Amino acid sequence: MANVCRSPMARLVLQQLASQFAPALELEIDSAGTHVKNHGKRPDDRVVSVLSSRGYKVGKSRSRQVRNDDFERFDLILAMDFANLETLTRRCPAVHCHKLNLFLSFAPETGVTEIPDPYFGNLAGFERVLDLCEAGARGIITKVAYTR
């Protein structure tokens, strides 16, 4: 939603796992929110902490709002939960709606469909989100690698 927790975490995980396990894919990966109030905000400190604890390099990620040209520019547009997917579906031109999906649709083994928003929770919630992001990222890399 605000592009400071789940989406930046998922982007970074997907980017680093893809470069590590499937560098030939040369993916362009970005992160954006559906309800960004503070454009240019850095990821939540708890995101940075959890990612760093697992060896991810956070870099200079900044929040941004989903733009209309994103629907044309990207092959996949993935939402963290049904509420955000619904918002994206309302905004997306019909010709590009086939690109929309849930991030965890690529990780059915998790037994969950949505990545919960950890913002109002504790560090354990952020660690759970990272687990789910890693599972989804592995599934996305596998799917993309076999469809190219």
- Cβ-based neighbours of 26, under 8 Å, separated by 6 or more: none
| CA separation, residue 91 to residues 5, 32, 70, 86 (Å) | 22, 14, 11, 9
Question: pLDDT tens for residues 95-140?
Answer: 999 999 999 999 999 999 999 999 999 999 999 999 999 999 999 9
Of the candidates 100, 59, 43, 96, the residue with the CA atom closest to the CA atom of residue 77: 100
Nearest to 75 by CA among 99, 105, 109: 99
Reported as a single tens digit per residue, the pLDDT across 15-46 is 999 999 999 998 999 999 999 987 889 999 99
pTM: 0.95
Q: Using CA atoms, how far apart are residues 98 and 76, in angstroms rounded to an integer?
A: 8
User: In terms of CATH architecture, what is 6-147?
Assistant: 3-Layer(aba) Sandwich (3.40)
C-alpha span between 58 and 8 (Å, rounded) = 9
- Angle (deg, nearest 10), helices 6-21 and 45-53: 30
Q: Where are the domains of the chain?
A: 6-147
